Amino acid sequence: MSAADGRARAGVLSTPHGDVPTPVFMPVGTQGTVKCLTQDQVHSTGASILLANAYHLMLRPGARVVAEAGGLQAWSGWRAPMLTDSGGYQLFSLARLAEVRDEGVIFRSHIDGSQIFLSPEDVIRVQNLLGADIIMPLDDCVGFPAARGRAAESARRTTLWARRSRDAHKSDEQALFGIVQGSTFADLRRESAHELAALDLPGYAIGGVSVGEGADLIREVVDLTVACLPPERPRYLMGVGLPGDLVDAVAAGVDMFDCVVPTRNGRNGWAFTFSGLVRVKNSPYARDSAPIEDGCDCYACRNCTRSYIRHLFNAGEFSGMTLVSIHNLRFYMRLLEGAREAILRGCFESYRARVKASFQ
């Protein structure tokens, strides 16, 4: 950590593929690519680290295919740092296809229906082959609302799997983070965080949020969890991505974020701006010669009007999705670049208030 303003902090995350200034947003490239964008287009938004998903890459094309190509960066053409998620959330979202035990997860592939057993050790072996700079252990994610007994089981199992993952991890070039679970139960969250901290891992993630509990509960869970994590280690909030939620989490002391929100919304014609959301497909923009957002330096805003982008969507041209996705990712980079600058200047709370006012 290089600076702090309250609990908000600015630092640098060092990886084998380069340094990442924090707080940072990681675009989601589940299959090794961000939907509708090339790696150069993602890089042009200011993204310094990309997230991919080990579960999906294990099923297709297979971790060994990626390893034989030189690892994720060489295979995908993304030359900067990468993080791979284990797929715990995907198995949660595919719960009807999965059976969770302490030994691991038995599930059916969503691609061909074949039955697969995946242990925590298997997940680490897959990610060792993929070669990302930061890797995540298998975790047992539960939705909201969760019965206390199920939440306690999830937290216990996630810690068990983290310990086994640490023991199975063989690469000094990859940082293995832990994942805190416990649903919305404060005591379970604290216990999970303390047990994971005792494993002395390079970083820690807050998992099991943004699964239906709403912004107020997310904020409560993040605040209490961060307070239990080692202050000298990076903190990663998984899957939370609305602008107001991000600046609230930065205020609590979170350093890293990922979410599909900017690109999913971009593909549907919703553009994020510092004045709020713009539904660029709407009829008022048919003759609008302004960019998506005045003052934005992304490719879309430097070269295209709202009228043109609206036309692309109405004509069924995929380039409309690409342009708004580029803009949205650049907005998220500017959002957290602004947060970092505000922390360094000691005025983060006023910056946070301005962002939240735009998205009431």
Contact 344, 232 (CB under 8 A): no
pLDDT band at 88 (very low <50, low <70, confident <90, very high): confident
Inform me whether the pLDDT recorded for 129 exceeds 70: yes
| 85 catalytically annotated | yes
Asked whether residue 355 is domain-assigned, the answer is no
Q: Rounded mean pLDDT of the chain?
A: 96
Domain that includes residue 146, residue range: 3-259
> What pLDDT score does 109 carry?
85
Distance CA 209, CA 205 (A): 11
Over residues 332-353, mean pLDDT: 98
For the chain, how many structural domains are there in total? 1
Instruction: Give the pLDDT mean for 81-87.
Output: 95
The answer to the question of residue 241 being in a domain is yes
91 with 105: CB under 8 angstroms? Answer: yes
- What's the pLDDT at 153? 97
Q: Quick check: 263 pLDDT over 90?
A: yes
The residue count for the chain? 360
Beta-ladder partners of 262: none
Nearest to 178 by CA among 140, 142, 137, 125: 137
360 contacts: CB under 8 Å, gap ≥ 6: none
Q: Which of 85, 122, 133, 248 is catalytic?
A: 85
pLDDT at 90: 77
Q: Is residue 330 part of a domain?
A: no
| Packing angle of the helix pair 243-252, 348-358 (nearest 10 deg) | 160
Q: What's the pLDDT band for 200 if we cut at 50, 70, 90?
A: very high
pLDDT band with cut points at 50, 70 and 90 for residue 177: very high
Q: What is the pLDDT, as a whole number, of residue 87?
A: 84
Range 306-310 average pLDDT: 98
Asked whether residue 179 is domain-assigned, the answer is: yes
The pLDDT tens digits of the residues spanning 11-68 come to 999 999 999 999 999 999 999 999 999 999 999 999 999 999 999 999 999 999 999 9
Note whether residue 278 is domain-resident.
no
**Which pLDDT belongs to residue 94?**
67
Per the domain annotation, does 244 fall within a domain? yes
Among 107-121, 285-299, 325-339, the range scoring the smallest mean pLDDT is 107-121
Q: Kindly state whether residue 347 falls inside one of the protein's structural domains.
A: no
Residues linked to residue 277 through DSSP beta bridges, in sequence order? 272
Please give the average per-residue pLDDT across 340-346, as a whole number. Answer: 98
Mean pLDDT across the stretch 134-144?
96
- φ/ψ region of 9 (left if φ > 0, alpha if ψ in -120 to 50, else beta) reads beta
- Options 102, 140, 258, 288, the catalytic residue: 258
Residue 1's pLDDT is 53
Mean per-residue pLDDT, 201-223: 96
pTM attached to this predicted model: 0.97
223 is a catalytic site residue:
no
- In the three-class reduction of DSSP (H, G, I as helix; E, B as strand; rest coil), residue 210 is classed as coil
Looking at the domain assignment, is residue 232 inside a domain?
yes
- CATH at 149: 3.20.20.105
Choose among 37, 15, 11: nearest CA to 330: 37
User: Where does the pLDDT of residue 158 fall: very low under 50, low under 70, confident under 90, or very high at 90 and above?
Assistant: very high
Residues 145-154, mean pLDDT to the nearest whole number: 97
Q: Over 147-184, what HEC string results?
A: CHHHHHHHHHHHHHHHHHHHHHCCCCCCEEEEEECCCC
The percent helix, strand, coil of the chain (3-state, each to 5) is 45, 20, 35
